[in-house]
Structure 1
Amino acid sequence: MRRKEREVTSTTEIAAILQAAHVIHLGIQTSDYPYVVPTNYGFEFVEQQLIIYLHGAPAGRKRDLIAQQPKVGFEIDDGGHLMPATNGEPSKNSFAYRSIIGTGEAELVTDLATKQHALQTILVHETGHPWPNIKEHDVEYVGIIKIKVNQYSAKAHYDPK
């Protein structure tokens, strides 16, 4: 990482970034160009390994590509905001942000118990509470992708205000 002073290593702060953000940009390999798709996600740390769950349709390009090549890249950020220059100098404009970039192995989940767990994880992340009434039909239908993250780094540029 070029800007070491912006590196985030605290697992508490990394979890806070993951919690604050709501969109993952998933990069998937194709035969010619990368395919990047934004989607919602849920996450958990299992014995200190970051696991990310994605939901979507049970068929489609994303799933087809992952079935061919499960190695993926991703980016998650909290949206950030402009820190405008106060002295009229264009070069003094800056941007506050927190982000995580990484790679992992994607798995197309078919096991109903894992799909149920993944949906709960996603719903808790997105809504702030569990949903005990997910219908079995919905669990069966949804496409779940589980990413076992093998490497990631986090970075932040904080607003001094």
Structure 2
Amino acid sequence: MQYRMKKFQLTSEQIDELLHRADTGRFATINENGYPYVVAMHFVYYNEKIYMHGLPKGQKIDNVNRNSKVCFEVNELFGLLTDNIENACDTEAEYNSVIIIGNASLIEDLDYKRKILNKIVEKYTPQFAGKELPDNMIKGTAIIEIDIVERTGKYHK
């Protein structure tokens, strides 16, 4: 671990809080040619796992089916620290960030997919929470679950 990481590490509670409040995360997979593929995704952090939803076909789904090892990142930028700075190279950012490595899989159980989709609705469109989701929407939506192997968080203030 880098020295800076040891000095500016988020606590487990701070990591949990950021994962609950962040709106967007970056989901990284490995494509068929061995290159990283990163896409911004809405997500929920539930039962110590990351869940995302989307179309049941596409590069990210193909990548997960081929190689379950993934990375997920969230951050929040509060601003740039420029007071008493005379050189642009000395500017620093005030932020929190979390990096997760884990194994991704697709959820097939319809009842569990419904539960996760309801969690996503509660987070992003709470005005629709509690309304029944149509079965065809549940069946036609892919739910990606990341089983977390390791997570680290850092900050700078």
User: Which residue is equivalent to 2:88?
Assistant: 90
Q: 2:85·2:91 contact (CA, 8 Å) conserved in 1? A: no
Shift of 1:148: 0.7
Moved more, 115-124 or 61-70: 115-124
Identity of aligned residues (%): 27
- Per-residue deviation, 1:19: 2.4
1:51 corresponds to which residue? 49
TM-fit CA distance, 1:130:
6.9
Aligned AA for 1:98?
N
- The match for 1:153 is 152
Identify which range, 132-141 or 106-115, moves more after superposition.
132-141
**CA-atom RMSD, angstroms?**
1.9
Shift of 1:156: 1.0
Matching residue within 34, 37, 40 for 1:38: 40
* 8 Å Cα contact 2:107-2:143 kept in structure 1: yes
Q: Distance in 1 between matches of 2:29 and 2:104?
A: 10
Q: Which string of whole-angstrom CA distances, capped at 9 and with x for unpartnered residues, describes residues 7-63 of structure 1?
A: 012x3211221123111111111233111111110112x3xxx20000000111111
Q: Deviations over 1:116-135 (max 9, x none)?
A: 11112222233457712122
Choose the corresponding residue for 1:77, options 70, 75, 78: 75
Matches within 5 A, 1:1-161: 1-2=1-2, 3=4, 4-9=6-11, 11-30=12-31, 31-44=33-46, 46=47, 50-127=48-125, 131-133=129-131, 134-158=133-157
User: In the aligned structure 1, how far is the partner of 2:19 from the partner of 2:39?
Assistant: 18
CA distance in 2, matches of 1:92, 1:105: 38
- Structure 1 residue 91: deviation in Å? 4.1
Structure 1 gaps, min length 5:
none
Normalising to structure 1: TM-score of the pair?
A: 0.85
Q: Structure 2 stretches of 5 or more lacking a match?
A: none
